[in-house]
Chain A
Amino acid sequence: MRRLLALVLLVQALNVGIANAAAKNLVLIVADPYLEMHSGPGRGFPVVYVIERDELVTVLYSRTDWFKVRGARGNEGWVRRADLARTLLESGEPAPIPPYPEFASHRWELGAGYGVYNRENLVTAYADFGLTRSLDVELVVQQAFGTLDDRYVASVGVRHTFIPEWKWFSPTAGLGTAYQYIQDKVPPAPLQKSNEMAYVSVGARGFITRRFLWRADWRHYVVFNNQNAYKDLEEWKFGLAVFF
Chain B
Amino acid sequence: MEIRLSCILLAATLLCGCSWFHRGHKAPSEIVAEEPQGEPSIIEPQVTRRVVKTPHIKAKDFELGGYYGVLSIQDFGTNPLYGVRAAYHVSEDIFLEGFLARSKAGTTSLEDVFPNITVVSDSGRRFTYYDLDVGYNILPGEIFLGRGRAFNSALYVMVGMGDVKFADKDQFALNFGVGERLLITDWLAVHVDVRDHIFETSLTGRTKNVDNLEATLGLTVFF
Show the binding face of A for B, using Cβ within 8 Å: 24-26, 39-45, 59, 61-68, 89, 91, 96-98, 112, 114, 121, 123, 125, 143, 145, 150, 183, 185, 209-212, 240, 242
Contact = CB atoms under 8 A, between A and B. Distances in A.
A145 B58 contact: no
Contacts of B17: none
Contact of B91 (A24, A40, A64): A64
B59 A62 contact: yes
Contacts of A210: 90-91
A38 B46 CA distance: 48
A121 B163 CA distance: 10
B139 to A, nearest CB: 9
Interface of B: 52, 54-61, 88-92, 94, 96, 132, 134, 137, 140-142, 150, 152, 154, 161-163, 169-172, 186, 222
A76 to B, nearest CB: 9
A112 B55 contact: no
Contacts of B92: 41-43, 64-66
Given A24-B55, A61-B60, A145-B170, A123 B90 contact: no
Contact of A62 (B57, B132, B142): B57
Contacts of B90: 64, 210-212, 242
Contacts of B161: 114, 123
A45 B57 CA distance: 22
B55 A26 contact: yes
Contacts of B169: 185
24 contacts: A26-B57, A39-B152, A42-B140, A43-B92, A59-B57, A61-B60, A62-B60, A63-B59, A64-B89, A64-B92, A89-B54, A96-B54, A112-B96, A121-B172, A123-B132, A123-B162, A123-B172, A125-B132, A185-B169, A209-B94, A210-B90, A211-B90, A212-B90, A212-B94
Contacts of B132: 112, 123, 125
Interface pairs A-B: 4 shortest CB-CB: A145-B172, A121-B172, A40-B152, A112-B132
A66 B162 CA distance: 31
B115 to A, nearest CB: 29
Contacts of A62: 57-61
A150 B142 contact: no
A19 B216 CA distance: 40
B163 A123 contact: yes
A153 to B, nearest CB: 14
Contact of A39 (B52, B54, B56, B142): B142
B89 A145 contact: no
A103 B118 CA distance: 56
Nearest to A40: B152
A98 B134 CA distance: 25
A186 B56 CA distance: 55
Nearest to B162: A123
Contact of A143 (B57, B88, B170): B170
Nearest to B160: A112
A61 B57 contact: yes
B89 A63 contact: yes
Of A25, A68, A121, most B-chain CB atoms within 10 Å: A121
Nearest to A114: B161
Given A24-B55, A143-B170, A209 B91 contact: yes
A40 B142 contact: yes
Nearest to A46: B142
B55 A25 contact: yes
Nearest to B137: A42
Contacts of B154: 42
A162 B82 CA distance: 46
A44 B138 CA distance: 12
Given A42-B140, A45-B142, A63-B59, 11 more contacts: A42-B92, A63-B60, A64-B92, A67-B57, A89-B54, A123-B172, A183-B170, A209-B94, A211-B90, A240-B96, A240-B134
A150 B58 contact: no
Nearest to B130: A123
A125 B172 CA distance: 15
Contacts of B61: 62-64
